[in-house]
Amino acid sequence: MKRASIIMVALASVSFAVGQQAPATPNNGKPSTATPGAAATQAAPAAGTTAAPGKTPPQAKTQAEYDAFNAAKATASDPATLEKAADDFATKFPESELRILLYEADVAAYQQSNNSAKMEEIGKKVLTIDPDQPDALVAVSQGLVDTTQDSDIDKDQKYSEATKDAQHALETIDTDIAVPAGTPPDRVEAYKDYIRSTAHSFLGTILFKKGDFVGAQAEYQKSLDAFPSQPDPVVVLRLALCLDNQKKYPEALQQANKAVQLTQENTTAGDYARKERDRLVQLTGGTVAPAKGAPATPAKPN
């Protein structure tokens, strides 16, 4: 889901910025312990913003840890390189709060490269540090859904794990995102809406693959309702397929037309959406959704 990667990377950059703040050092040159878990140099909230509720953002405890974090971050030229740097940092600083930032950034990097298996793998490293992290829960759920095949002997176990992770993300979305003070509230809420939308989409896909089209329809609709400003065309298409499988052809055609409008020709999703639309037009005698500003095209007679 390309819309997901854009938003995920945007918040990852905010999280990365947390680690930019060096630990405060008093006159004796040792790291301050007056406020555990928070840097004394943390910036004040910008005008018109408030500190977002949730977990305290990760902070460096020593200058050496902070420097090593920045060195690891500087190697982030590709997901594999960042993964190694994150592992090396975690080995050197096994108790560092900043480990999670490197792994979260690596999850986002693997997502951008469409590597679902590695998303799942690195997402599980995040959950080892923090089992309630919503974006990691969604990433692991996505990895399991994307890589599980109908022929897999353990597919039911994988789908059960993916369902549990997606549901837990919905449970922790309001309490377990660490956002630096000063982050615009609308940006945080947009990210939460994305998490909710994505979690419901994976729950829908699991039910769809199990043949529960009624349940899948409900989850896909929740996904679209959670993030209406950026509807995922694949979710819209799958909603059309759910309705089609229930023989709700007029409603299915409405969604298929939307999927066509949201996709480009000669793409996997676009071609599938157009085939589904054409099939439903033939079944219903309906119309092809027009391009913006154009009149509707009547269905051709059989």
Taking residue 25's Cβ as centre, other Cβ atoms within 10 Å add up to 14
Cα dist. 66→31, 69, 89 in Å? Answer: 11, 5, 11
| Mean pLDDT, residues 264-271 taken together | 92
Tokens representing 217 are 């329809």
For position 55, what pLDDT does the model report? 79
pLDDT surpasses 90 at 153? yes
| Mean pLDDT, residues 42-53 taken together | 34
Distance CA 7, CA 138 (A): 13
Distance CA 245, CA 16 (A): 44
The string of pLDDT tens digits covering residues 213-250 is 999 999 999 999 999 999 999 999 999 999 999 999 99
pLDDT surpasses 80 at 212? yes
Phi, psi for residue 288 in degrees, rounded to 5: -85, 130
More confident residue, 36 or 10: 10
Domains and CATH numbers, the chain: 2-39+56-180 (1.25.40)
pLDDT surpasses 90 at 285? no
The H or E element containing residue 214 is helix 213-226
Taking residue 112's Cβ as centre, other Cβ atoms within 10 Å add up to 16
What DSSP designation does 59 have? -
For position 162, what pLDDT does the model report? 97
Q: What percent of the chain has pLDDT over 90?
A: 66
pTM above 0.95, yes or no: no
The string of pLDDT tens digits covering residues 98-137 is 999 999 999 999 999 999 999 999 999 999 999 999 999 9
What DSSP designation does 131 have? T
